Amino acid sequence: MSPTMTDGPAIRRPTVRDVAEAAGVSIASVSRVIAGATKPVSEATRRKVIEAANRLGYTLNTSAQSLSTGRTGTVGLVVPDLGNQYFTTIAQEVVLAARESGFYVLVADSLDATHTEPTLAHQTQLRSDALILCSPRASATALAGVLGVGKPVVTVNRRLTGAASVCTEVTTATAALVDSLLDQGHVALAFIGASADSEQMQNRWRLIESRAAEVGGRSLRIDQEEADIEGAVRSAVAAGCTGLLAANDVQAAAILQALTGLGLRVPADVSVVGFDDTPLARWVTPRLTTAHMHERQVGQAAWAAVYGLLADPTAITHTEFTADPVFRESVGPASLRHTS
């Protein structure tokens, strides 16, 4: 005898009317909020609607919304590497802020492949109302198509004509980190793991090079594309470099491991500097001297910029933070055997 199935009571999905009653607002107000309108709904009303919708488990039919309003309720975010905690934190802050505003975030990772950025950005843009480009390294010419679509664009750590931006000024922190090495007798410096396509990396390198030259020192640059970290460390050590500056904390941690494999101690034999001040900088031994990039505030500011553009496409803003040097145990005096 075959088992029989009986239908239980159907579970009724919450409706716009349910959300309106729970929030204590009109159905029209709920409709405006879920349509992504910013006016004439007040911030207090918007928050009530979002909280009520979340509490009731109300799910927005984004396909229907898109057909009726031309908006998806989604913002795109393109990052170069989610494996780097710096970008992960920015993405988390954008997602959290978007959720509070009733938006979804479509995150795309270019996996450090600069040549894919324009296509990835364009495809993400087609599926969203606005786009946040995090540390784009493609040329302005290559990204022109993205800026020409007519949807709001915010860039992080780079400025492009026609886009809002959120940047972090790194020269002050870089100068302080380089000076800390030079002041402790490190006259041969190496900058390891930078991307030749990154404007911010180029600025850091020019500062390292000029600062070292001012005191009669020398500097070596080994780009990310040229060698693996272990090979880069071997080259730097063979060239007599005792102060190694990494492009970021992830690469600085790899440098520490490579130096251990070579039988060199940090900072007794070689000093190492990271960048970004991610949690990793505090987890490795020795803890990394690095630069704090205020990634949480950057993510929040990026969302504020894109949300402002959704309300008023002419409200193009430019926000800038200043990185702060953080001094820890990975930097020490240059070994006498390297300076004598």
Q: What is the pLDDT of residues 39-63, one digit of tens each?
A: 567 878 888 888 888 788 776 555 4
Helices vs. strands in the chain: H and E counts, helices first? 14, 12
- Mean pLDDT, rounded, of the chain: 88
Look up the pTM and report it: 0.78
Residue 9 binned pLDDT confidence (cut-offs 50, 70, 90): low
CA-CA distance, 297 to 289, in Å (whole number)?
21
Higher-confidence residue: 188 or 67? 188
Q: Give the model confidence (pLDDT) of 270-327 as tens digits.
A: 999 999 999 999 999 999 999 999 999 999 999 999 999 998 999 999 999 999 999 9
Domains and CATH numbers, the chain: 16-69 (1.10.260.40), 74-169+294-323 (3.40.50.2300), 171-292+326-339 (3.40.50.2300)
Q: Give the model confidence (pLDDT) of 171-211 as tens digits.
A: 999 999 999 999 999 999 999 988 777 888 889 999 999 99
- On the question of a cis peptide bond just before residue 3, with omega within 30 degrees of 0, the verdict is no
> Which segments within 81-175 are labelled E, that is strand?
104-109, 130-134, 153-156, 164-169
Q: How many CA atoms lie within 13 A of 191 on its CB side?
A: 25
Q: Which residues of 293-320 are buried (b: 16+ CB within 10 A; e: fewer)?
A: bebeebbbbbbbbbbbbbeeeeebeebe
Confirm if 156 and 318 have CB atoms less than 8 A apart: no
Query: Across-strand partners of 320?
Result: 167
